[in-house]
Structure 1
Amino acid sequence: MQLIPYLEMNYGLSDQVLQEIDKASVTKQHGKKCTILEAGNYAKNIFFIEKGLVRLFYFKGGKAITHYFFKEGDFVAGAESTFLQRKSVYGIEVLEEAVITAVPFSLINTLAVDSIAVNKLIQSILLQSLIGFSSRLQSLQFETAHERYQKLINQHPEILLRAPLGDIASFLGISQQTLSVIRAQR
Structure 2
Amino acid sequence: MKIDQILNEIYPLPPETCAEICKYIKEVQFEKGHILLKADKVERHLYFIKKGMVRAFAPQGDDDITFWFGEEGETILSMKSYVENQKSYENIELLENCELYELKVEYLRELYKKDIHIANWGRRLAERELLKIEERIISRELLSAKQRYDELLNNKPSLLQRVQLKFIASYLGITPVSLSRIRKEK
Q: Which residue of 2 aligns with 1:161?
A: 161
Residue type matched to 1:136 in 2?
A: R
Give the Å deviation of 1:185: 1.3
**What's the Cα RMSD here?**
1.8
Shift of the 154–17 alpha-carbon distance from structure 1 to 2, 3 Å rule, reads closer
Asked if the contact 2:17/2:117 (under 8 Å) is kept, the reply is no
CA change 1:156–1:6 in 2 (3 A) is: closer
Alpha-carbon separation, structure 2, partners of 1:47 and 1:75: 6
C-alpha deviations, 1:114-160, integer Å up to 9, x for none? Answer: 21111122122212211111111111111111111011011111112
SS at match of 1:157: coil
1:81 equivalent in structure 2: 81
Match of 2:176 in 1: 176
User: Who is 2:43 aligned against?
Assistant: 43
Residue 75 of structure 1 aligns with an amino acid whose one-letter code is T
Tell me the number of residue pairs that the alignment of Structure 1 and Structure 2 aligns: 185
Contact conserved, 1:11 with 1:120, CA < 8 A, in 2? no
The residue aligned with 1:125 is 125
Letter of the 2:49 counterpart: I
**1:135 corresponds to which letter in structure 2?**
E
How far the C-alpha of 1:64 sits from its partner, in A, is: 1.7
Residues 141 and 34 of structure 1: is their aligned pair in 2 closer, same or farther, counting only changes over 3 Å? same
Identify which range, 54-63 or 156-165, moves more after superposition.
54-63
1: CA distance, partners of 2:89 / 2:118: 26
Q: CA contact under 8 A between 1:13 and 1:118: conserved in structure 2?
A: no
Aligned-residue identity in percent: 28
Task: Give the Cα–Cα distance (whole angstroms) in 1 for the partners of residues 133 and 182 of structure 2.
Answer: 24
What stretches of structure 1 of length at least 5 have no aligned partner?
none
| Residue segments in structure 2 that go unaligned for 5+ positions in a row | none
The alpha-carbon distance between structure 1 residues 62 and 128, as it changes in their structure 2 partners (threshold 3 A), is farther
The question of 1:34 aligning with 2:34 is answered yes
